[in-house]
Amino acid sequence: MTDAHHDEAGLLAAVTRYERALMADDLAVLDELFAPGPATLRAEGTGVLVGADHIAAFRAARGGAPTRWLRRVHVRWTGPDDAHVVAESERAQGAGVQTQWWHRDEAGSWRVHAAHVSGGPVDPRPDPAAADDPATWRLRGAPLVAGAGTGPLQGVRIAVKDLVAVAGQRVGGGVPAWLEQAPVEQAHAPALQRLLDAGAEVAGIAQTDELAFSLMGVNEHSGTPVNPRAPGRVPGGSSSGSAAAVAAGTADLGLGTDTAGSLRVPGSFCGLYAWRPTHGAVPVEGVLPLAQDVDTVGLLARDGATLRRGAAVLLGAETGSSRPEALLRSRFLTGLADPSTALAVEAALAALSVATGLPVREVDVPADAPAAWTAAFRTVQAAQAWANHGAFVEAHPGALSPSVEARFRAGAAVGADELAAAREVVARTRAWLDGLLTRGWLCLPSTSTPAPSREAGPEGFEAARAGTLQLTTLASQCGVPALGLPWGRVGELPVGLCVLAPRGADADLLGLLEALGPA
Amino acid sequence: MTDAHHDEAGLLAAVTRYERALMADDLAVLDELFAPGPATLRAEGTGVLVGADHIAAFRAARGGAPTRWLRRVHVRWTGPDDAHVVAESERAQGAGVQTQWWHRDEAGSWRVHAAHVSGGPVDPRPDPAAADDPATWRLRGAPLVAGAGTGPLQGVRIAVKDLVAVAGQRVGGGVPAWLEQAPVEQAHAPALQRLLDAGAEVAGIAQTDELAFSLMGVNEHSGTPVNPRAPGRVPGGSSSGSAAAVAAGTADLGLGTDTAGSLRVPGSFCGLYAWRPTHGAVPVEGVLPLAQDVDTVGLLARDGATLRRGAAVLLGAETGSSRPEALLRSRFLTGLADPSTALAVEAALAALSVATGLPVREVDVPADAPAAWTAAFRTVQAAQAWANHGAFVEAHPGALSPSVEARFRAGAAVGADELAAAREVVARTRAWLDGLLTRGWLCLPSTSTPAPSREAGPEGFEAARAGTLQLTTLASQCGVPALGLPWGRVGELPVGLCVLAPRGADADLLGLLEALGPA
């Protein structure tokens, strides 16, 4: 029942070959991949075809299958040579599910012995409370800032995180006391300016967690934005309002920041594509800092194509097409997530393998490494955050909620030796990851759980944050780009698969999205 | 991949328990029968639920599943403790398919680890050429004979095989030269009279194969009736017109005869429920004989409930509820059908086991027995047929098609010793089957293939007839009742599962239908 010792690579390669043949209506390959003989089964809707010949005749007569993109491939091994595979796909219209029993014959060839297909239109059912949620936006316009009128992002509506300078507005930082003392910005932040120049417009300024120092999307001042994809759940943060607005459809791109996961986490919780760039690849000028060593400015979108177009504008470069040799997966790292999340992310990873044709390779992560890199990151982050905002915190007692204030104050206590030791761990982690990423792109859960309940309370939020930081701070401290794919599902709750590429490989990483449709 | 050494009984018992719990919305049992843990899968339509808890929550919220009746349960063993089960069902509205991966745990309990459900409305698509097919009816009325006006069969339209006396009409026997010399009948045959007294009406007189001495439904004089359920295929015979009319919906009950399979074969080819009664249980007076030792008068219907009501009237008794201990199956006997038909009948048998809760038990049939009983039957049948109609055949050269005439003439050549030896085999076969049927009801294919093509030609028809006679003549020569269930499918072609019960157990055999819905 475990796949540790099974031919995962061979099975996924066969599924890949099947999907490509299906999209190409390559009857010879499809017939080859179904087991010959009278016992093979194919079910759809209300009926079952029995026998390879009947299935082949049906296939020859139908003239191709609807285009589909796999999003989750659940693999359950039923024996050394048998796997039960349930694949979920998006279609141009709607979605579908296929169940396949694959068997490896004595010659080593994987073939389908039974299949069951279903599908139909999908009702995305975003929470209706989301569209006009006052906790999502600090300021909206129609638009708030017009774009260049033409360009690759023409008509794309941006939800700007309230850390990013919008000319003529103040930066609020998710803290009323900060907003009060903030100057009116004279210019757009350069990252925003690039998007506007490319035709995008600012729909409004979206809420953020207090000074971006939180991952849950809970803000005691402005409230917790509605998570349109997970009613009753937090949206994740700190780019909480941007994520909620994009998920609700009131914006198309979320412009936010990611220090410890502030794009990847709300992307995971709200079911969005998320991109944290290589550290330094997108200008952070005009953006309120949290911890400059690890701060980045990136994007959220409902679909991969919009994310890719927005990212190309921010990078000033078209997305690339270089591919790694493999997708790397550490079962240990994936297992840091809760069991349901780990299974969901495994299913998303298998779908990514099928969609890209890249094999999944298991890699080793030292058992004590995640705790060490997380602690080192938190030390560096806290020290820098205190250096940035300690004076404000001291000058405005009570301006921050107690849990956020405690995080800042932890930075005050970091000594020089402690900081140096932490930077040492960061340097070792970078060297280790750089080596690993020469072998492929590392895939891991974006978060350790799906979105917690809004009622989880401080301990619940802290547990989710602590579990997630072990996963998110690896990319953060190593400065590598990370792409969050919103394909996992725990019940109906989305959860992200995160792909880490070498530093500077943003264009190639985003180029992955081209194979993943819809365009 | 074979199920010879697997726990078929345990698996089907678990499927039975699951289906009953589903219909009763017994959440505790349903939850028990799904494997616990986060990896269990349930797919339906466009989505997948992962994890037993999510599946249980879904189930608790939905308030029951639509009523369904399993028609085919395809079992494919993937390992000693793992089976891939694909079940097809009829629903009150439409039909459905479920795929389940069942695994037997170390404690010996079968549980579902993955399921996929789909369904929807069904378009039965009878061949439009069938409704006004001139080869189906010799004579139609509106109605041809009215019924008693009230009774359990009120409004049921009967297609009377043209061997059965209808007052005021001649019996045609499927042969123009016979019709010419036939007297006008003074009274309805008693079997028909019973149906009329119960409120049924005669829609018309339906064509038959020549003097009932054929199984294909091909008549050189009146043509081959359209098979509404299998375009381009023969309807089977000799109750060919009755079957075609019922399948087309222009009649509700087919009143016909079964000597060597003349109800069971067209039932199988046209997808109808068929009943051959215990020899002597329904009066054959007023019906043109073929071979009195083995002639019976019985029924065809589109649904089990109509068949059951009609049979109760012919038997003069309500259907019963006694059940055997088991359903008996001989893989050897089933394997006399072609491989696709054997698989289809196996699937229907598994569905019958699930629907009734009766276990399937494998029984031995001596390897040389079917050839012996078939030869013995053919000898007895031919001798009696010649005794009945030899004079007509001699007096009307060319009145019969060559293949039918040859069958009659074979009877002329049967000597007394040969006939006695054949009767000896029949007696031994009856003794053997009587013993077997004390252990359960024997289930076997109704025919060795689905309906052959209309273009199969004499050799093709003879091959199908010869293969089928090995299966049908067992019940015929033993005088036991047989119920044909039209559940098998080879591609889109129907094929029947035939259930044999002890002599005189017709009411209990028909009582089976009560569990098999729709009412």
Q: Which of A214, A222, A240, A262 is catalytic?
A: A262
Partners of A57 on chain B (C-beta within 8 Å) are: 491
Q: Per DSSP, what are the bridge partners of residue A444?
A: A498
3-state DSSP percent of chain B in helix, strand and coil, to 5: 40, 25, 40
- Compute how many other C-beta atoms are within 10 angstroms of the C-beta atom of residue A136: 33
For residue B1, the model assigns a pLDDT of: 38
Q: Which of A35-44, B8-17, B128-137 has the lowest mean pLDDT?
A: B128-137
- What is the mean predicted confidence (pLDDT) over B126-148? 90
> CB-based contact (8 Å) between B11 and chain A?
no
Q: Find the largest Cα–Cα distance for chain A.
A: 80
Q: Which of the pair, A129 or A283, is modelled with greater confidence?
A: A283
For B454-507, write each residue's pLDDT tens digit: 999 999 999 999 999 999 999 999 999 999 999 999 999 999 999 999 999 999
CA distance A59 to chain B (A): 13
Helix axes A369-395, A402-412, angle to 10 degrees: 100
Q: Please state whether beta strands B82-91 and B297-301 pair in parallel, antiparallel, or not at all (unpaired).
A: unpaired
Q: Are A47 and B88 in contact (CB under 8 A)?
A: yes
- Using a cut of 0.80, tell me whether the model's pTM lies above it: yes
Are residues A344 and B50, on separate chains, in Cβ contact within 8 Å? Answer: yes
Q: What is the distance between the alpha carbons of residues B53 and B75, in angstroms, rounded to a whole number?
A: 27
Q: Can you tell me the distance from the alpha carbon of B427 to that of B415, in angstroms, rounded to the nearest whole number? A: 18
CA distance A97 to A86: 7
pLDDT of residue B4: 59
Kindly state the average pLDDT of the residues B140-148. Answer: 95
- A499 to chain B, closest Cα gap in Å: 23
pLDDT tens across B163-220, in order? Answer: 999 999 999 999 999 999 999 999 999 999 999 999 999 999 999 999 999 999 999 9
Chain B residue with CA closest to A93: the answer is B46
pLDDT over threshold 90, residue A341: yes
CB-CB neighbours of A131 under 10 Å: 14
Q: Which residue has the tokens 């974006």?
A: A446
> What 8-state DSSP symbol labels residue A215?
S
As separate numbers, helices (DSSP H) first and strands (DSSP E) second, chain B gives 15, 17
Map residue A8 onto helix, strand or coil.
helix
| Among A residues 382-441, those touching chain B with beta carbons less than 8 Å apart | none
The verdict on a CB contact (< 8 Å) between B340 and A103 is no
CA angle B19, B20, B23 (to 5 degrees): 85
Asked if A174 contacts A222 with a C-beta cutoff of 8 angstroms, the reply is yes
Residue-wise pLDDT for B393-427, tens only, equals 999 999 999 999 999 999 999 999 999 999 999 99
CATH superfamily of B128-325+428-516: Amidase signature (AS) domain (3.90.1300.10)
Q: What distance in Å separates the CA atoms of residue A482 and residue A275, rounded to the nearest whole number?
A: 6
CB B236 within 8 A of CB B216: yes
A34 interaction partners in chain B (CB closer than 8 Å): none
For residue range A454-486, list pLDDT tens digits in order. 999 999 999 999 999 999 999 999 999 999 999
Q: For residue A64, what are its two tokens?
A: 């191709």
ipTM score of the complex? 0.93
Separation of alpha carbons B85 and B481, rounded Å: 31
Query: Strands B110-120 and B41-44: what pairing?
Result: parallel
CA-wise closest residue to A234 among A137, A303, A136, A138: A136
Tell me which residue in B88, B116, B490 faces A47 most closely, judged by beta carbons. Answer: B88
Q: Which two tokens stand for residue B157?
A: 């339209």
Instruction: Quick: pLDDT tens for A357-376.
Output: 999 999 999 999 999 999 99
Per-residue pLDDT tens over the stretch B26-70: 999 999 999 999 999 999 999 999 999 999 999 999 989 989 999
Distance CA A90, CA B23 (A): 32
Tell me the pLDDT tens digit for each residue of A381-391: 999 999 999 99
What percent of chain A stands above pLDDT 90? 92
pLDDT score of B102 more than 60: yes
Question: Is A214 a known active-site residue?
Answer: no
Residue A134 pLDDT more than 50?
yes
CB atoms within 10 A of CB B502: 20
Interface check for A103 against chain B (CB to CB < 8 A): the answer is yes
Angstrom distance (rounded) from CA A417 to CA A58: 71
Alpha carbon distances (Å) from A460 to A234, A432, A453, B114, B239: 11, 32, 9, 32, 74
* Phi and psi at residue A516, to the nearest 5°: -100, -5
Instruction: State whether B113 and A343 contact (CB < 8 Å).
Output: no
Please check the confidence at residue B290 and state whether its pLDDT lies above 60: yes
**8 Å CB contact of B47 and A101:** no
Cα distance between residue A94 and residue A97, in whole Å: 11
Q: Say if the Cβ atoms of B343 and A50 lie within 8 Å.
A: yes
The predicted pLDDT at position A4 comes to 59
What's the pLDDT score for residue A36? 97
CA distance B358 to chain A (A): 24
Q: Is A6 on the interface with B (CB under 8 A)?
A: no
Domains of chain B, residue spans: 8-123, 128-325+428-516
Query: Given this chain, do its domains B8-123 and B128-325+428-516 carry the same CATH topology?
Result: no
User: Chain B, 451-490: which have a CB under 8 Å from a chain A CB?
Assistant: 489-490
Alpha helices by DSSP H, listed for B186-239, are 190-197
- The answer to whether B47 contacts A113, with C-beta atoms less than 8 Å apart, is no
Q: The dihedral of CA A81, A86, A88, A91: what is its sign?
A: positive
Local confidence band at A2 (pLDDT 50, 70, 90 cut-offs): very low
Residues B261 and B374: their CA atoms lie apart, in Å, by: 12
A126 close contact with B: CB closer than 8 A: no
CATH number of the B8-123 domain: 3.10.450.50
Residues of B recognised as catalytic: 161, 238, 262
Which of B3, B49, B86, B90 should we substitute to test contact with A (largest number of A Cβ atoms within 10 Å)? B86
Which of A40, A70, A86 to mutate to test binding with chain B, by most B CBs within 10 Å of its CB?
A86
The verdict on a CB contact (< 8 Å) between A82 and B82 is: yes
Nearest residue to B266 via CA among B494, B25, B4: B494
Q: Is the pLDDT at B450 greater than 90, yes or no?
A: yes
In this structure, the strands spanning B273-276 and A297-301 are unpaired
